[in-house]
Structure 1
């Protein structure tokens, strides 16, 4: 499987082997969640009048999932959207990404075989293959589809959102679209500029920069410490070589995006790596401007998908806050600081919480842990559903809806809500969480 995906995407086999492990790991994580009964959200309580009220969550129905180009395994046919929807009890119809059709078919065969082996109903999983937009729009428009999961470009996400809203019965479209994932460097983080700059370049260029969480925007203080960081980043980037991008169209869009940034007055080139072999491995690049230029030119605020970084120099906390307050919604925001910067960090944190789904202290945003507490989502336009995530077990809530049962006889209640808790699932009651195996 990794070898086939490598031929179709240009991604290294080692990276894809790790992605296969992540894909299997998230499937197991959702299997554990199903066995625990925790996703049912069972609640038993009584109102002020003493009326017996009980709640559980039920599946919405068939879900459409659109595979992503940049993760042919972990965000594709058997990726997180598929895993969470199946765990919720929803049948899944996947629209395969045309960038890796062979990989999509191979994974679909494995899912179908597993469904048959475990006695799941026929049709619980299906794969659609086709180029162009017609197949995807027809899928979203089908009245049997009750919700949609998408990871990709802003243009693609907006088209699906519009299609979902225009139906006679509108459906939610949970779209992860684009982000520049700002990284804020405070003065205390620049004590060792070589190490910090090396880590920045490594994160920026990993996987040809084709990650949802690529650090496309870095906010760097003016002054000697910031200058030293930028010089170190230039040295590191000049040693970097471009990697083959996922598709010719993505490579062309990267080149056009970099050119758009370069043509803005006040933007200068910090450094450029070397192009890789072949026509679709453009050189990584870092550009820089001051806060005034960034604020004055909206064309600098959009994502350039790939190994392109924009560094914006700021002077003073007030100017930094203004920059952050003008940002769109993001998947991540990262603070690099030292203990001496904590007062400034506390001032910035409320703004970062409003702008991003995941806020990091140190480190780099590339690399998303698959766990119960992870949020891979964020305010519009990073996603269309700010209250959800596409990674971690909280993702299951996108495909469920609550149903309340009032004053029902015990024998007619779903098993998870009956007296005695025969399924031994966790239940929220007036006295706290009870039950569980």
Structure 2
């Protein structure tokens, strides 16, 4: 179909503004390295749990932490789940704030497509899982497990596969993951929190207000904010709301727009410092302590024959892919957005399949959904691994088919004939 020159049709997956492209490139470079570490940690966890299961379980159950009224004498497994992932969600909170003030979500028109795609990519997997678990033997409590996208794992797969994905598609993936993380933390806070202790929640909220006040007053010093953040986290943990909510809340508080002669906002500077810790340490260590499940012919058979694990696999592979692709396609039709002529809807379908990789948050929700049934939680984790691997394999095949075209697009985007640091495509655009 020929493209119309009419100015009332906005381009979908078009060339990013140069500052946004540089930010995306820098952010995803760190996440890609983290994704490779995440893959390695998952493999080590699986080997460890299957070769030396008692040793793995002993490490998970070992408790450390101070005794006292805040109940922080936790197992290493819980420290990873409640502590390390708070760092991950802190970065997610900053990303979300930045998307609202400077990224794709700042404009309602530009935000419509990735937001609708992300919401559809959460709703349809939940529906698929619920339908699969609606009969005898089903357990609908795990409906949220297949709803999450793991951007680090997806980028790790891209790095291993050697795909040259254009920056517009990478930015779309990042925006999807940011909205996905927001929905995930809302799901965790609303559906997987119990026994709320309002005194602790009230003090945690007061701590967040103090955090906001100090930040808005321009008070500097990590020695102030780090102890305050730890107190807020401990109070949120004690309140019965999942502790990772504290990370998102503090990330959202940070200012992510520049003022005066600032080159970078406080949120961007802190994200630049903390993102390597999140991607390179927190998430891989969590994977090491969460991904270790016993895999055998029997467990793999159960994944494809029992309602709960099968619902997770179908939710990730079918629900995520169809939800994201269908949501984006319908949104583009209704908003009269034109797809970038250098790309095709098949490219978006491949990215949607890649977004079906739901690892970190899916493993977390597997623990939260079945707290009193360790065997079912383990089968759910195995299903997450199987579903994510299937999505990775299908997406790799689809992306490989277009890899030569992607390489040409990336070379065109990066070409800088005069060596002035500004790619030629942006100078032609200005000219």
TM-score, normalised with respect to structure 2: 0.23
Which structure shows the higher strand fraction? 1
If asked which structure has higher relative contact order (CA below 8 Å, sep 6+), I would say 2
TM score, norm. by length of structure 1: 0.23
Q: Which structure dedicates a bigger proportion of its chain to helix?
A: 2
